[in-house]
Structure 1
Amino acid sequence: MEFSKLIVEQEEGFIIVFINNPPANALSTAVLLELEQLLDKCVNDDNVRAIVITGSGKKVFSAGADINEFEDIRSGKIPTTIGQNLFNKIENYPKPIIAAIQGSAFGGGNELIMSCHLRILSSNASLSFPEVKLGITTGWGGTQRLPRLIGKTRALEMLLTGDPISPENALNYGLVNKVVEAEKVLEEAKTLAAKLAKGAPIAIREFLRGVTQGLNTSFEQGLSIEREGSAIVFASEDAKEGVAAFFEKRSPNFTGK
């Protein structure tokens, strides 16, 4: 599949997706649609067990929505549901998606990384939601995902002031999993993706589903989702392989069956 706004590199068991929309990797409608096409292509591809999303260049992961499209967004020609639907798809994707944040992220760029399952941030980067300084609000899930990740009080401070937070605070708040030197961000993400790609696909899928769906429902309903997932996993060939490998003192070979 050919893309004009993405660069895709295949690694063993996973892919790296570079948002390539200079100068600031704005999330234009074209970028969003290409990301959705890629996800649809990879969902049943056994050669893709994990996905790393990053930005081209070193300074900016993504500056968020394309300011050149603001008038079309305001008038309704470009619906906000395009971004919302894509980020919902990322959050509920059955394979782990890692954000390798090699540079600063703003607004919609942060809404993108928050929809990813895991996040690795450069020690030189900052994260912010500057929408309020433009007299607008987030439209792709910022008001919903941010407080779920870092709590209501801190989320409101970020959203109402538009001020950036440091990598240290992003880590302390629980917004990212790890902070590393800028030149190590992608390698760290690739190492993690390679590790996940060797895991049991069905078990990973059910972990993702249980946590993501469970957090958006009641505790009892969440337990029901977990029971359902556990039954599916225990009936899989991967579960038999995992137990056999344990007793035979060898590395398991998970096939996703």
Structure 2
Amino acid sequence: MDALFEGGWTHIAVSRREAVVEVALARTEARNALNGPLMEELTEAARLLRLRTDIQAVILTGTDSYFSAGADISASQARAGTGALLEARRAVMAGPDLCRAWEEIEAVTIVAIEGYCIGGASALAVSCDFRVMGKSAYMRLPEVPLGMNMSWRTLPKLVALAGPSRAKQYVMFGEAADATRCLDWGFADEVVDDGQALAAARVWADKVTALPPLPVRMTKEAINGIAATGAQASIYMDRDQYLLASRTNDYREGIAAFREKRKGKFKGD
């Protein structure tokens, strides 16, 4: 039996069309927020896909209305605040492990984004090769305004895609980048009419499957290696930075301000 298609998933749906696999986030009762079980299933699916030679393209998608509301804040707080720092350090690897698993898939990965793609979901999206967005879709990283750093192995990818200045704007200010800006900055590869992102992603996948698979994989590996030169030196500490930030008063104030729908009052402690 093929574990990828046995139907044992609870929070994702996996289907196949010849050499193309589609993975859809399916935690719709929580706007596809990335909690532990959903991240575990996405990570496991990526690991099962990683070296499959019978698969040439993988499409990752959400619903027709939204991709994902990002990391589940309550779950993230629980992981970061778990007992001893050593245990907390291990617990907060779920997000980085998820992004790494999708980076390491040898087939070409394409993300179809409708509506919002926030926080950890944006980190996951830029871990893939290409992104297609509906024209009303947007991406946003709210972490810094909430009092934490942006981790999940994301910063080198943003710099590679958009350059240092735009990456700083996107991360620091936490403002939504609409589909037009994402296309201009390099976060998106195509913008289509709303509701057509998945159909367009399928066209991209068909272009991939029409190519000889070996040089495609070698090209992906080579370009990713070039783009990621020095990345490990810059991100090896991002989970420790997150653990430090998550224990500050500013972090608690940021989360409280978010929940109370007000501006935060930060003091640098």
TM-score interval for Structure 1 and Structure 2 normalised by the shorter chain: 0.7 to 0.9
How big is each residue's C-alpha offset from its partner over 1:52-84, in whole Å with a ceiling of 9 and x where there is no partner?
A: 0001x3332111111220222222276232221
User: Percent same amino acid among aligned pairs?
Assistant: 25
- Hey, what's the Cα distance between the residues in 2 that align with 1:44 and 1:131? 33
- Farther off after superposition, 38-47 or 124-133: 38-47
1:3 pairs, out of 6, 9, 13, with: 9
Give the superposition deviation at 1:112: 0.6
Query: 1:244: which partner in 2?
Result: none
Residues 99 and 120 of structure 1 are in contact (CA less than 8 Å); yes or no, is this contact kept in structure 2? yes
Could you say which residue in structure 2 is the equivalent of 1:94? 106
Alignment counterpart, residue 188 of structure 2, candidates 166, 173, 176 = 176
Question: In the alignment, which of 113, 116, 137 is matched to residue 125 of structure 1?
Answer: 137
TM-superposition CA deviations, 1:78-122 (whole Å, max 9, x none): 623222122123223211010111221111110011000011011
**CA–CA separation in structure 2 for the residues paired with 1:78 and 1:71:** 14
- The residue type equivalent to 2:64 in the other structure is K
Residue 132 of structure 1 contacts residue 162 of structure 1 at CA under 8 Å; is this kept in 2?
yes
Using the size of structure 1 for normalisation, the TM-score is 0.79
AA paired with 1:88?
R
The residue type equivalent to 1:13 in the other structure is: A
Structure 2 residue aligned with 1:140: 152
Give the match's secondary structure for 1:38.
helix
Aligned counterpart, 1:66: 72
AA aligned to 1:83 is: G
Q: Greater shift after overlay, 59-68 or 169-178?
A: 59-68
Given that 2:50 and 2:104 are in contact with CA atoms closer than 8 Å, whether structure 1 keeps it comes out as no
Partners in 1 of 2:79 and 2:100 — Cα distance?
19
Paired with 1:159 and 1:44, the residues of 2 have a C-alpha distance of 32
From 7, 14, 19, the equivalent of 2:20 is 14
Task: Tell me what 1:233 maps to.
Answer: none
Check conservation: 2:23, 2:61, Cα contact below 8 A: yes
Q: Secondary structure at the match of 1:62?
A: coil
Q: Secondary structure at the match of 1:60?
A: coil
Any unmatched runs of 5+ in structure 2?
Answer: 1-5, 82-87, 231-269
TM alignment of 1:1-257, pairs within 5 A? 1=6, 2-22=8-28, 23-55=30-62, 57-75=63-81, 76=88, 79-217=91-229
Question: What is the TM-score of this pair, normalised by structure 2?
Answer: 0.76
Deviations 1:135-157 (A, max 9, x none): 22222123232122111111111
Deviates more, 1:112-121 or 1:68-77: 68-77
Q: CA contact under 8 A between 1:80 and 1:140: conserved in structure 2?
A: no
CA–CA separation in structure 1 for the residues paired with 2:173 and 2:134: 23
Which ranges in structure 1 are unaligned for 5 or more consecutive residues? 219-257
Q: Distance in 2 between matches of 1:174 and 1:77?
A: 32
What secondary structure does 2:195 align onto? Answer: helix
1:72/1:78 contact within 8 Å kept:
no
The answer (yes or no) to whether the contact 2:115–2:137 under 8 Å persists in 1 is yes
1:203-237 CA-partner distances (Å, limit 9, x unpaired): 1110011000122338xxxxxxxxxxxxxxxxxxx
Distance 1:150 1:83 in 2: 22
Aligned residues: 217
Q: CA RMSD in A?
A: 1.7
The CA distance in 2 between the partners of 1:217 and 1:17, in whole Å, is 29
